[in-house]
Amino acid sequence: MSLEDLEASCLQCQRCDLAKERKHVVVSRGQPSARLMVIGEAPGADEDAQGRPFVGRSGRLLDASLTEVGLDQEDDIYICNLIKCRPPGNRRPTPVELKACRPWLDRQILEVNPEVLLILGATASASLLESRTPISRLRGQWTQWKGRFVMPSFHPSYLLRNPSREPGKPRSLFIADLTQVKDALNGVVSGLTPDSSDR
């Protein structure tokens, strides 16, 4: 299945109850052959209305932060979410919804085949990495998943609630994490060599 076919099929998905109230299925934005895939939690109201991920305030903060470290979101990056339809009231996705939607994400990762995954927020990190470690401890630490570099970090919505740029605060830590991602894409990562044969 090509990425185009995958996205067309995803737009018709009725696998879970989130299909009932959505305005749009929110599949992705960015480049289909990107070396970096950014994975958030789920669409919010703006994303549901427009059918594109990270287009509200969180998305603007994400884009500005990526630009700040020199990552061009139109050239280098494919952006998507763990869950493709908006949970009512922006609640966390349930385990049933996560399980139902996961094959779409797994297929996206296979088709885009990025070298680096940037995972935003506790829910996405816990689900993808199957970890109970708090995001405050996971973030900033390289790990691997199926032969790819993985960098967990804060979700931009959390940064909107914690806007200080002082050193050690979440916003500056987020920039530090993105800088590590940029360095990894430039081949400047030591001590970690993902085995691409796992992909």
> Scanning residues 14 to 73, which ones bind ligand SF4 (CB under 6 A)?
14-16, 18-19, 25
Instruction: Find out whether 152 and 129 touch, Cβ atoms under 8 Å.
Output: yes
Q: How many residues bind ligand SF4 (CB under 6 A)?
A: 15
Judged by CB under 6 A, which stretch of 45-53, 100-108, 113-121, 176-184 contacts ligand SF4?
Answer: 100-108
Of the candidate residues 36, 48, 61, 84, the single one contacting ligand SF4 (CB under 6 A) = 84
Taking residue 17's Cβ as centre, other Cβ atoms within 10 Å add up to: 14
Question: CB-wise, 43 or 170, nearer to ligand SF4?
Answer: 43
Contact criterion met (CB below 8 Å) for 49 and 85: no
Q: In terms of CB distance, is 42 or 122 closer to ligand SF4?
A: 42
Rounded Cα–Cα distance for residues 124 and 128 (Å): 6
Give the pair of three-digit tokens for residue 10: 């995803």
**C-alpha angle with apex 158: 156 to 161, nearest 5 degrees?**
115
- Residue 10 contacts ligand SF4 per CB under 6 A: yes
Residues that bind ligand SF4 (CB under 6 A): 10, 13-16, 18-19, 25, 83-85, 97, 100-101, 104
